[in-house]
Structure 1
Amino acid sequence: MGKAIYPGSFDPVTFGHFDMIKRSAAIMDELIVGVLNNSAKNSLFSVDERVSMLKELTKDIPNVTVDSFDGLLVDYMKKSGATIIVRGLRAVTDFEYELQIAQTNHVEYPEAETIFLTTNLKYSYLSSSIVREFAAYGGDISNFVPPQFIDRIYEKYNIKK
């Protein structure tokens, strides 16, 4: 179906993100997981750490690569040769925002098409923000993130589990 990019901050990567990656990879010829380097955000993990975690998570999916980018997604798409953007929708409120972004991207890069995948119901509530908030207070995040990342997340908050 072409070369796609699934962009995001992935700070940290969640089971919801991983579900979207696996499902997208199953329908795309190539999938780039694009980690946005947004210097305006105060991220929990560095871009390099997020890229590393995603590479670790996707190492067994042959048509997935992980990369980081700065600036506009459409500029990165032109550089990488991707023409499809994959976005996940959790709720109607996501759609309103994502539709505006998709239309703007299409205006700036007419070759860009956005496909929306609805999230798996068991992850429809999940966001990286929720994970960060639970982790900051020492809450159990085992239902939210892959097990190999739990200790790394707690370490960022100086919490020993």
Structure 2
Amino acid sequence: MKRIGFYPGSFDPVTLGHTDVIARACRLVDRLVIGVGTHDAKQPMFTVAERVAMLESETAPIAKKTGTAIDIVTFGGLAVDAARETGASVIVRGLRDATDFDYEVGMAGMNGAMAPGIETVFLAATPSVAHIAANLVRQIAQMGGDVSPFVSPAIAARLKTKARN
């Protein structure tokens, strides 16, 4: 039986923290489905199509290196429902700090009650990327700052272009 993981997020933009979690999750599953959330309440910097395109380009080398199939989907409802629809048995969540842990443990409990067959796996952030938060990366870009320590060169270029518009 193939192990399928589901990694949900907004990925606005894709950061080095995200790609760290993706690469590490690929060691645990045979197929990783990355779910791009499309919630109306959020005001993303990038469109859904742009976020999917960024993920496709950023994850292709990871898929090749690890031999893991990586698929990218969009979802607008509950992450646990999207995970179920993709056949995932695991939801992958990255943890940067204790605040993330407190929130994610509650979410895992709720998801477990709704879908007992889907486990949540927490991956502690690699120390070199633990401080990276996409919302802060967006703020830095919008204020003309250097985002290169937090994202790949391709994403930095996209942020620079987007921030000018």
Same fold (TM over 0.5): yes
What runs of 5+ residues in structure 1 fail to find an aligned partner?
none
What is the number of equivalent residue pairs in this alignment? 159
Q: Deviations over 1:119-160 (max 9, x none)?
A: 01011110001101110111111111010111211122217x
SS at match of 1:4: strand
The runs of at least 4 consecutive aligned structure 1 residues that moved more than 3 Å come to: none
* Corresponding residue SS for 1:142: coil
TM-score normalised by the chain length of structure 1: 0.95
Let me know the Cα RMSD of the aligned residues: 1.2
Which of 138, 142, 145 aligns to 2:148? It is 142
Structure-2 separation of matches of 1:113 and 1:87: 11
Corresponding residue for 1:37? 38
Alignment gaps of 5+ in structure 2:
none
| Distance across 2 between alignment mates of 1:29 and 1:58 | 15
What TM-score does the superposition give when structure 2 sets the normalisation length? 0.92
Percent identical among aligned pairs is 41
Q: 1:25 & 1:102 partners in 2: Cα distance?
A: 20
2:116 is aligned with 1:110: yes
Structure 2 counterpart of 1:124 = 130
State how far apart, in whole Å, the 2-side matches of 1:115 and 1:130 are: 25
Q: Secondary structure at the match of 1:6?
A: strand
- Which position in structure 2 is the counterpart of 1:9? 10
Show CA shifts across 1:58-83 (max 9, x none).
12304211111110112112211112
State the alpha-carbon separation in 2 of the partners of residues 59 and 91 from structure 1.
28
The C-alpha deviation readout for 1:101-128, integer Å capped at 9, x for no partner, is 0000010111110000100101111000
Query: Match of 2:11, SS?
Result: coil
Amino acid paired to 1:84: V
Give 1:33's aligned amino acid: I
Shifted more, 61-70 versus 127-136: the winner is 61-70
**Equivalent residue, structure 2, for 1:19:** 20
SS at match of 1:97: helix
Q: Which amino acid aligns with 1:16?
A: G
More displaced, 127-136 or 73-82? 73-82
Q: SS where residue 99 of structure 2 aligns?
A: helix
